Amino acid sequence: MADAEPAIHSARSDSDRKTPAPAAAAATVDADEGSRKSLRKRLMLGIGGLVLVTSLGYGGYYAAVGSHYVSTDNAYVGADSASITPMTGGQVLRVAVSDTQAVKKGDVLVQIDDSDARIALAQAEADLARATRQFGQTAATSDALAAQVQAREADIARARAQVIAAQADFEKSRIDLARRQKLAPNGAVSGEELTSATNAFQAARANLELAKAGLAQATSTRVAASGQLAANEALVRGTNANTAPEVLAARAKVEQAKLDLARTVIRAPFDGVVTRRAVQVGQRVAPGAQLMLIVPLNQLYVDANFKEGQLTRVKVGQPVTLTSDLYGSGVEYHGRVVGFSGGTGSSFALIPAQNATGNWIKVVQRLPVRVALDPKELQAHPLRVGLSMDAEIDTSAK
């Protein structure tokens, strides 16, 4: 028993030495807390420094590069499509294309029945031949009228000679009558002879008046013939069978008939793709009716709708980089600003917004900017009208 007690005492002494004092434990806790605060402080300083460096870097990038670009994803592909309409009416004999079909410039799209056009052309050609022949007749009539004028001159000369002869007979009969009238009181001239002389005088005077009337008529006839000649000469003077007005008018009708005949075959105005075909074989179409649309895929453009605050430094001619949702960001298109719309999209809406109200809220407006695309890039990666695009303009370029 005496040996056991010292052993227990020795064990307790060892245990008391291994257990720290309360003051030492508190000191250890304070040291750990300070270490954690120091670590947190350094971490916060590091994060703050990283944010500061990032902000300075972004600010420098924006000042040097980013501020020179404006971008929008509100952009869409457009094109000046051709509306195919007939210039002449008739029944459709053949439709050579279908929707989505690619066509080349000059390809036949639609053929209209040309029977009426051919008949009209034949009639116009006949009218031209008639007009040419009539001009020849008019030119020949001038020679005939000139001969008639010469004949009227001869008639006038003959009428004058007749007047002279009648005048001479009149003078002779007047003298004979006056002589017999002087001798009649003396009985030297019988009553019958005096009557005969009086009758002869009256006949001579009538013949003189008749001759003068004939001269007047011949003169009038010559004047009429000269007028007809002048009128006919006015029709042919300075012209020939190719330049006569009637011939030119008839030739114009022939050309119009040929044009109408050619227009019965409708061809593609340029390379493109057929869309919205609305014509069928056997259908009777009228001039101006829309048959289909041709979209020129190598002449597309983009209308990018930028916010009004983004357009401060945007100018015509600045380069534009674009990407399409169709191909993704891996395919870039390059274009240039070619113009600005005359108004915002809302101003040309079917029902424009009316801002003159009491409860008004300002809405940022967008202005369409037209961007021309590179035809070579379009050929390599074709687009379609209406596709979405992302556009970025370099405003630093002049």
Computed over every residue of the chain, the mean pLDDT equals 83
Across the strands, what pairs with 389? 75, 324
Q: Are 89 and 71 in contact (CB under 8 A)?
A: no
Residue bearing the bigger pLDDT, 331 or 195: 331
Residue 225 pLDDT > 60, yes or no?
Answer: yes
Q: Are 279 and 292 in contact (CB under 8 A)?
A: yes
pLDDT at 314: 93
Q: Which of 66-75, 230-239, 308-317, 325-334 has the lowest mean pLDDT?
A: 230-239
Q: What is the rounded distance in angstroms from the CA atom of residue 81 to the CA atom of residue 269?
A: 10
Tokens standing for 21? 């004092």
Task: Return the CATH architecture of domain 117-259.
Answer: Orthogonal Bundle (1.10)
CA–CA distance, 315 with 395 (Å, rounded to integer): 7
Average pLDDT value for residue range 355-384: 87
Domain(s) of CATH 2.40.30.170: residues in the chain: 67-81+295-350+359-394
Rounded to two decimals, what is the model's pTM?
0.61
Summarize pLDDT for 69-112 with one digit per residue, the tens.
999 999 999 999 999 999 999 999 999 999 999 999 999 999 99
Amino acid at site 165: A
Residues in a beta bridge with 336: 319, 372
pLDDT band, very low/low/confident/very high, at 290 (cuts 50, 70, 90)? very high
pLDDT at 23: 63
Query: What percent of the chain has pLDDT above 70?
Result: 85
Rounded Cα–Cα distance for residues 318 and 321 (Å): 10
Give 123's pLDDT tier (boundaries 50, 70, 90).
very high
* pLDDT tens-digit readout, 30-59: 677 777 777 777 788 888 878 877 777 767
Q: Do 75 and 303 form a contact (C-beta atoms < 8 A)?
A: yes
Question: pLDDT band at 235, cuts 50/70/90?
Answer: low
Q: How far is CA 282 from CA 88, 99, 120, 142, in A?
A: 15, 18, 22, 55
Measured from the Cβ of residue 303, the count of other Cβ atoms closer than 10 Å reads: 17
pLDDT at 65: 52
- Select from 227, 225, 228, 206 the least CA-distant residue to 217: 225
Q: How many CA atoms lie within 13 A of 324 on its CB side?
A: 20
Q: Kindly tell me if the per-residue pLDDT of 5 is higher than 50.
A: no
- CATH number assigned to the domain with residue range 67-81+295-350+359-394, chosen from the 4 options 2.40.30.170, 3.40.50.300, 3.30.830.10, 1.20.1740.10: 2.40.30.170
Locate CATH 1.10.287.620 in the chain: 117-259
pLDDT at 24: 64
